[in-house]
Amino acid sequence: MICGTIIYVMAKKTFQIAIDGPVAAGKGTTAKLVAQRLGFLYVDTGALYRALTLYVQRKGVSWEDEREVVRVLLEEKPKVGLRVPSEEEKDGRLCTVLLNGEDVSWKVRTEEVSRGVSVITQYAGVRDLITPLARQIAEKQDVVMEGRDITSVVLPDADLLIYMDADPRERAKRRHRELLMRGEDISLEQVYKDLMERDKRDSGRAIAPLTKVAKAWRLDTTGMTIDQVAEAIVAKVKTV
């Protein structure tokens, strides 16, 4: 009879940075830069929801029809994913967004999709498709993950929880510049109006509303450059 010793090997816990906050607070660009400086994986969960929104739009389904939206996504199971941009894809995008193998990185960034995504993300059936995927990614590698409800629902126990915000007018100007660079013809006032309406929807929805959790570090990016915001976060990581 051979006697042995059972050795339990504890898996190394990944380091998780979760960034939440309203639209145009600077989450995406900052998260990507922080991930690069720390050697972490950048994950934009909002892009995954946008890809599903685009899929529903192409199917001609009304975003307001919750039952039909969820039915189409559950039955047809569109494949969504993210990857680091290749050399040929480095055109300013933060990540390459895939929908059934198609590169939809810029197609999911239109103002129309932005309006739709704030509607379908209220549906539990839609969130149930993305939340488990995001958690699986964070369990396998060090991540900087950003998006709505990351700190409150997806990664509430992350090593560093950040709520990024900025003055609404400054956020509207950032969003307006972004849309103009992509060739969209829209006024600053319309962007501001859309932004305020989206904030109201995101904060008031019953499922995973936009909110600052008690443990989150509030970072006001008003008047700050992207480099300054990234430096502040990297410095904060060193204190965790």
The verdict on residue 140 lying in a domain is yes
Helix (H, G, I), strand (E, B) or coil at 167: coil
Give 153-197 pLDDT, tens digit per residue: 999 999 999 999 999 999 999 999 989 988 889 999 999 999 999
Residue 1 is predicted with a pLDDT of: 43
The verdict on residue 5 lying in a domain is no
The verdict on residue 200 lying in a domain is yes
pTM of the predicted structure, to 2 decimals: 0.77
The encoded tokens of residue 115 equal 């309006």
Q: What is the number of domains present in the chain?
A: 1
The verdict on residue 222 lying in a domain is yes
The Cα 64–Cα 68 span in angstroms is: 9
The Cα 183–Cα 177 span in angstroms is: 10
CA 218 to chain centre: 17
The encoded tokens of residue 133 equal 């995927």
Mean pLDDT by 10 residues, the chain (240 residues): 46 86 91 93 90 97 96 96 86 88 95 91 92 89 90 95 96 93 92 93 84 96 95 96
The verdict on residue 2 lying in a domain is no
The verdict on residue 68 lying in a domain is yes
The verdict on residue 9 lying in a domain is no
Residue 157 is predicted with a pLDDT of: 96
Which CATH number is 211's domain given?
A: 3.40.50.300
Beta-carbon contacts of 96 under 8 Å, excluding residues fewer than 6 positions away, are: 82, 83, 84, 85, 86, 89, 103, 105
The verdict on residue 8 lying in a domain is no
Give the domain range for residue 128.
Answer: 16-237
